[in-house]
């Protein structure tokens, strides 16, 4: 089978070739209709919009996106043209958890905040939000959850966005981007929401840029309604608001989920879905990871250890120094390793 894949999806080409397929790698933003004339399968990331403009007249019958989100795939078009598609739910959930943890720990350290004073609002409680809630519970951080779709299904334990705005001093967004339907999330955090904020000291968005109204965000930063922001996703990216970038405490080029483990998970999930679609006989070629170059981390606390493993401050400095290189920084990002890859040793003596 002829297959086209985004060149930035790791571990995929070799495995597909071992399965007997002919693979062509291309930059995701450059994949065009004429590249797909004879391609029966397509593997992409968010930079490839899979719609009629790309797919009409091609041989594509399977699309795999190595991402949790899938707003770049026209699901209605695929259904009407008998194209099977799949995403990778939860593939990088631990990587985004790591990003949020390190963001909050770096902020706590610099702003001298006591964890016992935090009330964390988690908006969107899927694979990622659930992990963040579990971490908060383990750390005895008070948290509130907002997830209208799950609440509508009869699940308990959720509150309104108004409650989040009223009670929480850290708010983190982890919803999908839905522009319509029963639960739209386009500009979920809009001017109306931000005017209701009473205690917000840190707002984090690691979902989709347009979930948060960036113009309203800048305005509410300017009037002091929000103290700090941490943005991994931006409206209109890769073109960023210079003012918003300057005001951001953490500013990163859409890399919250960019861990080696997360990428491996996505590729593995794509291979499993494609093997089922193509009725591949036998086992899927195994993919394994080597140990980190420095597998042991010594620290005086778990918080310090996590920041040693990954600090978003370094990525922030790079983006602020060269915002015009957003796509290059994202596409050439050196994948970090997750905490599970390390042996963490917590020292008992008091840190000087």
Residue of 237, 261, 303, 338 with catalytic role: 237
Q: Is 208 a catalytic site residue?
A: yes
Residue of 61, 72, 254, 330 with catalytic role: 254
Are 263 and 66 a contacting pair, CB within 8 Å? yes
Q: Cα–Cα distance between 233 and 263 in angstroms, integer?
A: 18
96 contacts: CB under 8 Å, gap ≥ 6: 128, 174, 206, 256, 257
To 5 degrees, how large is the angle CA 34–CA 68–CA 230? Answer: 110
What is the side-by-side order of every strand in the sheet holding 2-6?
22-26, 2-6, 41-44, 62-65, 84-86
To 5 degrees, how large is the angle CA 126–CA 130–CA 133? Answer: 145
Q: Cα–Cα distance between 257 and 9 in angstroms, integer?
A: 13
Q: Is 237 a catalytic site residue?
A: yes
The phi, psi pair for 14, rounded to 5°, reads -60, -45
Cα R_g (the chain), whole angstroms: 21
317 contacts: CB under 8 Å, gap ≥ 6: none
Residue of 47, 72, 208, 268 with catalytic role: 208
- Which of the residues are catalytic? 208, 237, 254
């Amino acid at each position: 089978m002829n297959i086209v894949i985004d060149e930035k999806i790791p571990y995929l080409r070799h495995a597909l070739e071992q399965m007997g397929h002919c693979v062509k790698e291309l930059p995701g933003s450059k994949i065009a209709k004429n590249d797909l004339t004879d391609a029966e399968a397509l593997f992409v990331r968010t930079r490839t919009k899979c719609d009629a403009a790309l797919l009409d007249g091609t041989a594509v019958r399977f699309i795999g996106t190595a991402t949790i989100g899938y707003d770049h795939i026209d699901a209605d078009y695929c259904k009407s043209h008998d194209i099977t598609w799949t995403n990778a739910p939860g593939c990088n959930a631990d990587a985004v958890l790591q990003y949020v943890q390190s963001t909050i720990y770096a902020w706590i350290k610099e702003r001298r905040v006591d964890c016992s004073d935090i009330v964390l609002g988690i908006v969107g409680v899927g694979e990622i939000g659930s992990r963040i809630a579990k971490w908060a519970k383990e750390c005895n951080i008070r948290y509130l959850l907002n997830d209208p779709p799950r609440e509508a299904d009869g699940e308990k334990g959720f509150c309104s966005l108004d409650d989040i705005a009223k009670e929480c001093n850290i708010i983190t967004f982890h919803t999908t981007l839905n522009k319509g339907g029963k639960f739209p999330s386009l500009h979920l955090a809009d001017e109306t929401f931000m005017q209701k904020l009473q205690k917000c000291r840190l707002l984090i968005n690691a979902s989709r840029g347009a979930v948060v109204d960036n113009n309203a965000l800048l305005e509410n930063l300017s009037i002091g309604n929000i103290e700090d922001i941490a943005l991994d996703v931006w409206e209109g990216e890769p073109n960023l608001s210079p003012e918003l970038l300057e005001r951001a405490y953490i500013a990163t080029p859409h890399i919250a989920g960019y861990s080696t483990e997360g990428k491996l998970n996505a590729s593995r999930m794509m291979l499993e879905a494609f093997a089922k679609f193509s009725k591949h006989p036998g086992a899927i070629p195994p993919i394994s990871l080597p140990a980190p170059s420095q597998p042991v981390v010594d620290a005086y606390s778990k918080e310090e250890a996590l920041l040693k493993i990954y600090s978003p401050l370094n990525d922030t400095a790079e983006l602020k120094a060269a915002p015009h290189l957003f796509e290059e920084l994202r596409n050439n990002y050196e994948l970090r390793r997750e905490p599970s890859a390390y042996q963490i040793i917590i020292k008992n003596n008091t840190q000087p």
